[in-house]
Structures are given as structure tokens and as C-alpha cells.
């Protein structure tokens, strides 16, 4: 406080300067206000479970940023030119960027785990050759579409929802497992018809 700074100056044998003591006090108070505000922001954001949707993360950021500013204004003292408030905003921005990266990483991990879980029956059928029989390709495609629908309907995937299924399904559709069990697309049937001097082809 101002009184403590003044007393310390007297005890140290220095000539007490009221203006200098006030400047030191303001710097200490404002630095403490920044720390308290950052703690309030971090505490609020810890209540958010990751992964989450970007819109929800942004909304939570805005809510707890406002709370942090209230805490800062309550504890700050004569923040000239809003120097310490700018410091607070910079540190909050860095923390928010870190949370965005953490959310994307958690989302990617969640999507991969969900895809692996949903694909277990399909992988098991591929491994034992269930689809290597007449009509097997259609059965495979139907089950693959069911897997995709289950993935789309699952909640809590976060921002990487579109990345994992594309890679995973392409691998299952074109990978060596399909060749090994002998799944083939039904061949297209064409018939020829003669009209005049030219030959035309049409599907069966």
C-alpha cells in the first residue's frame, strides 16, 4: 500500500517521495489485478469439457473474459493509458489460442476413437470373409453407410468431425482387406443395339 511504501522509505533512510511511492503502489496493485483476472478466466475455462464445438468454446471465452475484466477493474488502481488492461488482454488471448489447439487435438483423438469403436463389427466381418460371397458388396456398403450415420449422429466430436471419417472410410473401402476377402463391385452390364449404321450401347 501507499502507507507501507512511505514507511519503508523512511526506515531505509531515504527521503520519502510521495509521488514515487504512489507509482510503486499502483504498479503492484495493477500487476496483482492482472494476476487475479487471469486466474478467474482460467478457472472459468477449466469448467469446459474438451473437445467441444468451436462456437461453444468461443462463447465460453467471451463469458469468462468479461468476468476477468470485472475482476481486473475491481482490483486495479489508476491504470493509466490502460497499460495493464492491455497486458491482461494479451495474456488472455494467448491462453485462448492454447485452448483452441488443445480442443482440436482432443477432437481429433475423440473422432479417431469413435470411428474405431463403430467400425469393429465391419472390421470383424472383413477379417473373417463375411462379404466374400454373392451380394457381399451390397451388404458391405449397407453396413458402411450405417457406420457413417452412427458417426454423424454421435455428439461431442468437436471441430475435427469431418477429418477422421473420410480417411478411415477410404482406407476400409480401398485398402488391402477388401482385395484379400474378394469383395468386388458388381460389374455394369451393357447391351448393344443397332440403329441404322451406328452401334449404340445401353445399360441393362
Instruction: Say which residue, 7 or 173, is predicted with more confidence.
Output: 7
pLDDT exceeds 90 at position 70? yes
- DSSP, collapsed to helix, strand or coil, labels residue 198 as strand
Whether 123 and 99 share a structural domain: no
Instruction: Say which residue, 135 or 34, is predicted with more confidence.
Output: 34
Whether 96 and 172 share a structural domain: no
Write out pLDDT tens, residues 108-122.
888 888 888 888 888
Q: Which residue range is the domain that position 128 belongs to?
A: 119-181
> pLDDT value at position 154?
77
Whether 79 and 176 share a structural domain: no
- Say if 159 falls within a structural domain: yes
Whether 64 and 149 share a structural domain: no
pLDDT exceeds 90 at position 2? no
pTM across the whole model: 0.65
- Say if 201 falls within a structural domain: no
> pLDDT value at position 66?
97
Q: In the chain, which residue ranges form alpha helices assigned H by DSSP?
A: 2-11, 18-45, 54-75, 83-118, 120-128, 136-153, 163-174, 176-181
Whether 92 and 123 share a structural domain: no
| Residue where a domain stops, chosen among 107, 128, 144 | 107
DSSP letters along 122-135, please? HHHHHHHTTTSSTT
Q: What is the mean pLDDT of the chain?
A: 77
> pLDDT value at position 15?
46
Residue where the block lists cell 482432443: 106
- Say if 200 falls within a structural domain: no
The average pLDDT across 123-148 equals 83
Percent of the chain exceeding pLDDT 90 equals 34
- Say if 113 falls within a structural domain: no
- Say if 64 falls within a structural domain: yes
User: In total, how many domains does the chain have?
Assistant: 2
Cα–Cα distance measured from residue 140 to residue 126, given in angstroms and rounded to the nearest whole number:
9
Write out pLDDT tens, residues 176-203.
344 434 445 555 544 544 454 445 555 5
CATH number at residue 92: 1.20.58
Write out pLDDT tens, residues 15-55.
455 556 667 778 889 999 999 999 999 999 999 999 999 99
pLDDT exceeds 90 at position 62? yes
Whether 147 and 103 share a structural domain: no
Percent of the chain exceeding pLDDT 70 equals 67
Cα–Cα distance measured from residue 74 to residue 117, given in angstroms and rounded to the nearest whole number:
50
Residues 33, 71: contact at Cβ < 8 Å?
Answer: yes
Whether 28 and 74 share a structural domain: yes
Whether 96 and 128 share a structural domain: no
The average pLDDT across 130-143 equals 83
Whether 61 and 86 share a structural domain: yes
Instruction: Say which residue, 126 or 101, is predicted with more confidence.
Output: 101
Whether 101 and 132 share a structural domain: no
Whether 11 and 87 share a structural domain: yes
- Say if 177 falls within a structural domain: yes
pLDDT band at 131 (very low <50, low <70, confident <90, very high): confident
| Residue where a domain stops, chosen among 63, 87, 107 | 107
Q: Is 192 exposed, middle or buried (0-12, 13-18, 19+ CB in 10 A)?
A: exposed
CA distances from 137 to 120, 143, 146, 178, 185 (A): 18, 10, 14, 10, 6
Amino acid at each position: 500500500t501507499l502507507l507501507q511504501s512511505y514507511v519503508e522509505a523512511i526506515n531505509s533512510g531515504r527521503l520519502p517521495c510521495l509521488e514515487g511511492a504512489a507509482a510503486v503502489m499502483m504498479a503492484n496493485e495493477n500487476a496483482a489485478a492482472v494476476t487475479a483476472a487471469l486466474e478467474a478466466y482460467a478457472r472459468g475455462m477449466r469448467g469446459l469439457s474438451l473437445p467441444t464445438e468451436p462456437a461453444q468454446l468461443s462463447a465460453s471465452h467471451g463469458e469468462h473474459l468479461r468476468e476477468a475484466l470485472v475482476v481486473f477493474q475491481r482490483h486495479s488502481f489508476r491504470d493509466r493509458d490502460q497499460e495493464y488492461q492491455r497486458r491482461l488482454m494479451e495474456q488472455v488471448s494467448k491462453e485462448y489460442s492454447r485452448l483452441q489447439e488443445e480442443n482440436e487435438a482432443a477432437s481429433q483423438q475423440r473422432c479417431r476413437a469413435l470411428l474405431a469403436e463403430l467400425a469393429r463389427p465391419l472390421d470383424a466381418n472383413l477379417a473373417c470373409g463375411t462379404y466374400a460371397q454373392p451380394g457381399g458388396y451390397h451388404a458391405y456398403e449397407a453396413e458402411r453407410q450405417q457406420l457413417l450415420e452412427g458417426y454423424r449422429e454421435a455428439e461431442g466430436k468437436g471441430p475435427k468431425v469431418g477429418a477422421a471419417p473420410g480417411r478411415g472410410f477410404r482406407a476400409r473401402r480401398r485398402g488391402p482387406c477388401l482385395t484379400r476377402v474378394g469383395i468386388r463391385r458388381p460389374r455394369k452390364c451393357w447391351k448393344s443395339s443397332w440403329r441404322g449404321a451406328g452401334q449404340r450401347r445401353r445399360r441393362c
